Amino acid sequence: MAPWRGLIDSDYRPRLPVHPGTPAVSLHEGNTPLLYSRHLSGRTGCEVWLKVEGANPTGSFKDRGMTVAVSRAVEAGAELVLCASTGNTSASAAAYAARGGIASAVLVPASGVARGKLAQAARYGARIVEIGGTFDDCLRIARALATSPGVALVNSVGNELRLAGQRTVAYEIVDALGAAPDIHCLPVGNGGNITATWQGYVAYDRGRPRIWGFQAAGAAPLVHGAPVPAPRTDATAIRVGSPATWAPAIAARDESGGLIAAVPDAEIFAAYRELGSHDGVFAEPSSAAAVAGLLARHRAGRLSPGSRVVVTLTGNGLKDPDAALRADYSTTSADPTAPDVARSLGLAA
């Protein structure tokens, strides 16, 4: 079998907006695990699969679009990759810019970016600008600066390059399962991923799932039908009050016969713990919103038994260690002797 060399040099290349001369700026993103969840399947009476996007090179699905956007930016002679971010876009943009040999600058909210993501942007060498405002402020400013010469804005809003790359998740799922699932669950923040996932299934044309998107209850503009000025949730990757990809996200919901619903943080964090302790998958809190949403639909009797369901786990739990250590867990201490450790573990002497 040929080794995996990333999306641009894969069989999906004809579906990506690259030219014969486009340099592939890649960290071998894509080809992520699709894991069967015995736990969630048992809990729901369905066949539940987890698309583990945290296995991408910078730990989130953002790498799928970034390989395309940065490759094209390098081809076009850009000198600076610029983005606004709740964290993962900045980590990905900075990594791909470094790989492509150009500079990056990231605009992030001064509070609410998970520490692992900031650590990534720092180590990939980005210029980090912390803005005393929300993600929505960062995006507004990034868009205003995008017209400067040599600057490539790599946010997904209106960015066909990013969306085209992100569509590949649907191609991989269809190739792995042999057909589209009945239902595809994912968290929704700015709306790019729900849009790209739906468009991917449509373009691949081997069945269409209902798309079930979930927002955090304190940051659910697409559910309420109006922007939320002060979005609140500890799932920081989906703390977005004014989704830039609004109309296409609603179209993905409606054309697929799906829904976009809200889930409270308490349920998001319960699902977050459950995923780790029952499936061995450490995803970030925002990813768990999709699991929480699936379980809520099941509880409400709105999930047909036997459905085949795919859940996108959008990002890696390691990115947000503070969230992980805030949720309840147990430690015990012991003296450095085997008998004392045996005592603290309750093992027979």
Residues that bind ligand PLP (CB under 6 A): 60, 62, 88, 156, 187-194, 237-238, 284, 286-287, 314-315
DSSP 219-232: G-HHHHTS--SS--
Q: Quick check: helix, strand or coil at residue 171?
A: helix
Q: Of 69, 310, 316, 60, give the one whose Cα is nearest residue 197.
A: 310
Give the nearer residue to ligand PLP in terms of CB position, either 181 or 317: 317
Give the nearer residue to ligand PLP in terms of CB position, either 100 or 248: 248
Q: How far is the CB of 190 from ligand PLP (least distance, A)?
A: 3
Q: How far is the CB of 53 from ligand PLP (least distance, A)?
A: 8
Q: Tokens 């991989």, residue? A: 172
Distance CA 230, CA 238 (A): 13
- Tell me the sheet residues that pair with 185: 212, 311
The residue at minimum Cβ distance from ligand PLP is 315
Give the nearer residue to ligand PLP in terms of CB position, either 37 or 233: 233
**Cα Rg, the chain, nearest whole Å:** 20
Q: How far is the CB of 249 from ligand PLP (least distance, A)?
A: 7
Q: How far is the CB of 240 from ligand PLP (least distance, A)?
A: 6
Q: How far is the CB of 170 from ligand PLP (least distance, A)?
A: 14
Give the nearer residue to ligand PLP in terms of CB position, either 156 or 159: 156
Q: How far is the CB of 130 from ligand PLP (least distance, A)?
A: 18
Q: How far is the CB of 323 from ligand PLP (least distance, A)?
A: 12
Give the nearer residue to ligand PLP in terms of CB position, either 246 or 343: 246
Q: How far is the CB of 194 from ligand PLP (least distance, A)?
A: 6
Distance CA 31, CA 216 (A): 28
Give the nearer residue to ligand PLP in terms of CB position, either 169 or 295: 169
Distance CA 302, CA 147 (A): 47
Give the nearer residue to ligand PLP in terms of CB position, either 238 or 294: 238
Q: How far is the CB of 149 from ligand PLP (least distance, A)?
A: 28
Distance CA 324, CA 157 (A): 30
Torsion sign across C-alpha atoms 62, 64, 70, 73:
negative
Contact 209, 181 (CB under 8 A): yes
CA distances in angstroms from 90 to 135, 213, 252, 278, 301, listed in the order given: 12, 23, 25, 31, 39
Within a 10 A sphere around the Cβ of 247, how many other Cβ atoms?
10
Give the nearer residue to ligand PLP in terms of CB position, either 79 or 322: 322
243: which DSSP letter?
Answer: -
Give the nearer residue to ligand PLP in terms of CB position, either 116 or 181: 116
H-type alpha helices, 147-282:
160-166, 168-177, 192-204, 221-224, 246-255, 265-279
H-type alpha helices, 18-131:
38-44, 62-75, 88-100, 115-123
